[in-house]
């Protein structure tokens, strides 16, 4: 029904459709969701809502896509430089550079916590598990990037501890575990499965074709439940199987790179 979109001269697209975001309910006064590939300006192989800066896409397009995500969230989104660790950054205001523009990164960390309305938090993924957290009553929100290493080393308890320090009650926290590689697809060597399962037994899995695998979202859910999180929603979509999302593994199988989608959360400005 639409004419072909005009090019912006960078291979990007002008007048792109708004972002398609899977909204999740983390409580009153909290806006949260998981972006899809749809609604950005980047061309193949990052088409189109690529939010990751380190995947060889043009930075101007990525910042434009991040602005689109911020518009959806109704708050400027802060992202960290994710390093598969367990460090947590706490933000008290939307981070800006000297010119007032959003910063590309708030530093090396795999989780971010905020207690101020209008501070948007984002976590970038393409098979790893994006985790969104909120204690709506206390006014504390958080995001975590749970890949194989971060999960095994405890990024989920780390972000919950920082939320508790910021005033949250873990029993009041509602969590959303987002689209990620599922335990029937995420094949790994047997030794790697054993190593991760030693730290996080719920991750032990087998692919649909019978080889060793890891179920990272199951490991995240188990960590959340063990910590006492009262309400866990699992958006049960597999990034490798579902091409609405970016998937590093699916792209690598096709010999190409790909983009990053995001989990987003913010306390609404009343």
Nearer to Zn ion, 163 or 216 (CB): 216
Smallest distance, Zn ion to C-beta of residue 181, A? 6
Smallest distance, Zn ion to C-beta of residue 238, A? 3
Determine phi and psi for 152, rounding to 5 degrees.
-65, -35
Nearer to Zn ion, 140 or 213 (CB): 213
Smallest distance, Zn ion to C-beta of residue 197, A? 18
Nearer to Zn ion, 127 or 135 (CB): 127
Smallest distance, Zn ion to C-beta of residue 211, A? 13
List 82's β-bridge partners, or say none: none
> Would you give the binding string for Zn ion spanning residues 136-165, x where CB under 5 A is met?
------------------------------
Smallest distance, Zn ion to C-beta of residue 34, A? 16
Contact 186, 205 (CB under 8 A): yes
Q: Three-state SS string across the chain, please?
A: CCCCCCECCCCCECCCCCCCEEECCCCCCEEEEEECCCCCCCCCCCCCCCCCCCCCCCHHHHHHHHHHHHHHHCCCEECCECCCCCCEEEECCCCECCCCCECCCCCECCEEEECCCCCEEEEEECCCEEEEEEECCCCEEEEEEECHHHHHHCHHHHHHHHHHHCCCCHHHCEEEECCECCCCCCECCHHHHHHHHHHCHHHEEECCCCCEEECHHHHHHHHHHHHCCCEEEECCCECCCCCCCCCHHHHHHCCCCCCCEEEEEEECCC
Nearer to Zn ion, 32 or 185 (CB): 185
Smallest distance, Zn ion to C-beta of residue 183, A? 8
CB within 8 Å of 253: residues ≥ 6 apart: none
CA distance 144 to 117: 19
Nearer to Zn ion, 202 or 238 (CB): 238
Nearer to Zn ion, 22 or 159 (CB): 22
Nearer to Zn ion, 86 or 205 (CB): 205
Smallest distance, Zn ion to C-beta of residue 240, A? 5
Give the count of residues interacting with Zn ion (CB under 5 A).
5
Return the residues of window 231-270 that contact Zn ion according to CB under 5 A: 238, 240-241
Return the residues of window 193-212 that contact Zn ion according to CB under 5 A: none
Return the residues of window 170-189 that contact Zn ion according to CB under 5 A: 182, 185
Return the residues of window 55-94 that contact Zn ion according to CB under 5 A: none
Binding site for Zn ion (CB under 5 A): 182, 185, 238, 240-241
């Amino acid at each position: 029904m639409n004419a072909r979109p005009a090019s912006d001269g960078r291979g990007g697209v002008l007048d792109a459709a708004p972002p398609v975001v899977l909204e999740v309910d983390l409580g009153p006064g909290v806006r949260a969701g998981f972006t899809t590939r749809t609604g950005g300006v980047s061309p193949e192989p990052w088409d189109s809502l690529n939010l990751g800066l380190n995947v060889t896409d043009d930075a101007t397009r990525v910042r434009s896509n991040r602005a689109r995500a911020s518009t959806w969230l109704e708050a400027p989104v802060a992202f960290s430089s994710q390093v598969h660790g367990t460090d947590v950054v706490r933000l008290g205001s939307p981070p800006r550079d000297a010119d007032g523009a959003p910063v590309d990164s708030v530093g090396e960390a795999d989780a971010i916590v905020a207690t101020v309305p209008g501070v948007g938090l984002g976590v970038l993924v393409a098979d790893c598990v994006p985790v969104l957290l909120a204690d709506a009553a206390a006014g504390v929100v958080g995001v975590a990037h749970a890949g194989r290493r971060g999960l095994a080393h405890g990024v989920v308890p780390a972000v919950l501890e920082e939320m508790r320090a910021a005033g949250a009650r873990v029993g009041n926290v509602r969590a959303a575990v987002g689209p990620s590689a599922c335990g029937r697809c995420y094949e790994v060597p047997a030794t790697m499965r054993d190593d991760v399962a030693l730290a996080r037994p719920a991750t032990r899995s087998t692919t649909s074709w019978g080889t060793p695998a890891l179920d990272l979202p199951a490991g995240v859910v188990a960590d959340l439940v063990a910590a006492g999180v009262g309400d866990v929603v699992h958006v049960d979509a597999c990034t490798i199987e579902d091409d609405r999302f970016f998937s590093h593994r699916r792209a690598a199988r096709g010999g190409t790179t790909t983009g990053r989608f995001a989990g987003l959360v913010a306390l609404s400005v009343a």
